[in-house]
Amino acid sequence: MVLEVKRAQRGDREAFIRLFRRLEPELYGLAKSIVRRDEDCADAFQETTLKAYKSLSTLRQPKYFKTWVIRILINECNQLLRMRSRTVVMAELPEPAGAARFTGEYEENRKQDLREAVENLDETLRIVIHLFYYQDLPIKEVASVLEISEGAVRGRLHRARGILADKVKRMGREELAYEKA
């Protein structure tokens, strides 16, 4: 990835496109976990791409490209949320319950339940979980991206894991009660 970043910094547009295509699923997933609406995800991704392209020459260490882009994306998502809080929505249709649920195998349902549990976490915990587990960033980079201490990252991970473990236990008990009935 470092070579691609250096090529992109020298003006190779195709290298930049390849970099963003490689990161797109991860960035979209992160944006979705923050802003939740697809149209806002698309806006945040587009703005992130534009800002990254325009300021690529300011990136001093190409090995931190992914971290740098994630920081831009988080800032864009937060900007969208601030703008959204100032907007009065006339009518917004709620998503039908279970619209994103998979029908089929037990394992898929469990994975979906866990994804939903992560999505229902407080934003500060959800972002740390997403960066650490879904983006595979080490604690040091998560701390850098969020501009918090490594201890704070560890604390948030610990708190989020505890909440998720409780939810998983409750889901298991609910399934057992359902099966007995």
What is 1-93's CATH number, 1.10.1740.10, 2.40.110.10, 3.40.50.300, 3.40.640.10?
A: 1.10.1740.10
Span 165-171, average pLDDT: 81
| Buried residues in 69-80 as b, exposed as e (16+ CB within 10 A) | bbbbbbebbeeb
pLDDT value at position 173? 66
* Mean pLDDT value across residues 165-179: 69
- pTM of this structure: 0.65
What is the Cα–Cα distance from 30 to 69, expressed in whole angstroms? 12
Please give the CATH number for the structural domain made up of 104-180: 1.10.10.10
pLDDT category of residue 105 using cuts at 50, 70 and 90: low
Closest CA to 140 of 129, 127, 154: 154
Is the pLDDT at 6 greater than 60, yes or no? yes
Residue 51: what pLDDT?
95
Burial of 28 from C-beta contacts in 10 A (0-12 / 13-18 / 19+): middle
3-state secondary structure of 102: coil
- Structure-token pair, residue 139: 């604690």
Res 52: pLDDT: 95
pLDDT given for residue 139 in this prediction: 93
Lowest average pLDDT, out of 21-30, 40-49, 83-92, goes to 83-92
Residue 90 has pLDDT above 60, yes or no: no
- Give 50's pLDDT tier (boundaries 50, 70, 90): very high
What is the predicted pLDDT for the residue at 154? 95
123 pLDDT higher than 80: yes
Phi-psi region of 102 (alpha: psi -120 to 50; beta: other; left: phi over 0): beta
**What span, in angstroms and rounded, lies between the C-alpha atoms of 52 and 54?**
6
Lowest mean pLDDT among 5-9, 49-53, 98-102, 140-144: 98-102
Taking the domains of the chain in order of start, what are their residue ranges? 1-93, 104-180
pLDDT of residue 66 exceeding 90: yes
CB atoms within 10 A of CB 67: 19
HEC readout, 27-81: HHHHHHHHHCCHHHHHHHHHHHHHHHHHCHHHCCCHHHHHHHHHHHHHHHHHHHH
Q: State residue 88 phi and psi, 5-degree precision.
A: -95, 120
Average of per-residue pLDDT across 96-125: 68
pLDDT of residue 150: 94
